Amino acid sequence: MLLLLALAVVQSLSIWLFIEERSDSIHAALAKDATSRVLITAHMLDVSEEDRHAAIIGMAESFDFRLSINDSALSDMPNAIPLKFLNKHIHSVFATPNQRSFRLALVEGEVMPPLQADWNHDEDGDPSQLAVSAELQDGRWLNARIDTGGPPWQWAWPALTSMLLTGAAVFIVVWILVGRISRPLWMLAENAEKLGLGNPIQPVNSSGPDEVRRLSTTFDKMADRITRLLAERSTMLAALGHDLRSSITAMRLRLEMIDDAETHERMGYCLDEMQSLVESALALAKGADNAEPLASVDLGQLLSQLVEELRETGGNGSLTVTEDFVVQIRQASLKRALRNIADNAIRYGGEARIILRGTKDTAMIIIEDDGPGIPQHERERIFEPFVRLELSRSRDTGGTGLGLSIAKMAIESNGGSLTVENQSKGGARFVVSLPAI
């Protein structure tokens, strides 16, 4: 569109310059002919009797060439525009030793009195009239008005047709070229979005310019490496978790053989913390694992089940549904993410108030609590792994710091987003946005 706009501007400017040049050429041709006729007629009027003047003027006039004898020159009228670009040329053409005085001008609009009655004849409706005034021997002026016919718009039609044909040709060529570039780029963008959500992707067909083909090939290789890396990480964490679980279980069995109560309690506490860290690491791996298939889920029913589970475990949870939504998600991973957020709200705020609302295209799950809120400078950092705002690191006052990281990863893998803000009355508000079907 920018290319066509630039082309239209340049072509319009060319047409305007062309019309101006044609107008000047027409004016020059008319001025030469009119000046010649006016000078010849003025000479015949000077050498003839007064009673023959009307007949001479009648013979000299034509359809678009009108003559009259007046006391003033038409070229001296207020609405007359001197044609400086023509005056010098015309005077040089008709220069003679005893050349009479004559002037040229372009009169815009109707001719003013005292010439109104004789000169208000504009057959084609064009307000522009070429005026040539020649001084007679008796001091009066022979005034000629020549109808210029207006700007030569008929000459512009070929240029306009050429501009349309050129624009059409440019549009077709650019459409084809941009299509060759944009199609693989569009597929590349689709694959990038799928890769970010953990969905399987199809290799992009290498087509278009060299740079686009190279970009497509490089992206496919990068996507393959990332997919293999994530799979290897999940496998490694699963294997590590399995081995650690076995070791922790064995240590718990040995722990029961220790008679010292204090040592038994401290080692049991350490094993509990290790068990929690292992379970959190495995949960983090599951959050990055997108093997679960997508399914259409009723968010209202999902949140109702979540609130019931919270209450069964002694948590204080409530649900308000202003409008129900159906979304395309991985149900287990999203439910796990929402539970992590709700557990945090209950742990630090005493209650998890869950609200489901949104717009036609977006479902919003809002989880509010009555806790101390989250400082502005910490609202991005709390989603990082192993970050806790509670600095005591005690197992009694907080977890491992992976809950929100897992939640954010799982929500983003479902095509949504997670943000946090403080309520005006105090407490934190977590907002989960998901694309609705």
| Res. 270 pLDDT band, cuts 50 70 90 | confident
The answer to the question of residue 158 being in a domain is no
Rounded-to-integer distance, Cα 357 and Cα 436, Å: 11
Is 157 within a domain? Answer: no
The domain of 33 spans 2-151
Confidence (pLDDT) at 297 = 92
Residue 162, domain member (yes or no) = no
Banded pLDDT at 138 (limits 50, 70, 90): confident
Question: Does residue 351 sit in the same domain as residue 320?
Answer: yes
Residue 305 and residue 203 share a domain: no
Name all contacts of 192-197 with Cβ < 8 Å and 24+ positions apart.
192/219, 195/223, 195/226, 195/227, 196/412, 197/290, 197/412, 197/413, 197/414, 197/415
Q: How many domains does one find in the chain?
A: 3
| Claim to verify: residue 131 and residue 258 sit in the same structural domain | no
Nearest by Cα to 74 from 23, 123, 120: 120
Asked if residues 292 and 333 have their Cβ atoms less than 8 Å apart, the reply is yes
Least confident of 150-154, 217-221, 370-374: 150-154
pLDDT in tens, 335-348: 988 998 999 899 88
| C-alpha–C-alpha distance, residues 68 and 47, integer Å | 17
pLDDT grade, residue 96 (50/70/90)?
Answer: low
Mean pLDDT of 212-233: 84
Mind listing the pLDDT tens digit for each residue in 159-218? 778 778 888 888 898 888 888 888 888 888 888 887 876 677 877 777 777 888 888 888
| Mean local confidence (pLDDT), 287-298 | 73
- pLDDT-derived band at 115, boundaries 50, 70, 90: very low
Give residue 289's pLDDT: 55
Last residue of a domain, one of 101, 119, 151: 151
CATH code of 423's domain = 3.30.565.10
Asked if 14 and 110 sit in the same domain, the reply is yes
Sequence-distant (≥ 6) Cβ neighbours of residue 226 within 8 angstroms: 195
Clarify whether residues 15 and 144 are in a common domain: yes
Mean pLDDT lowest among 145-159, 260-274, 377-391, 403-417: 145-159
Together in a domain, 127 and 223 = no
**391, pLDDT greater than 60:** no
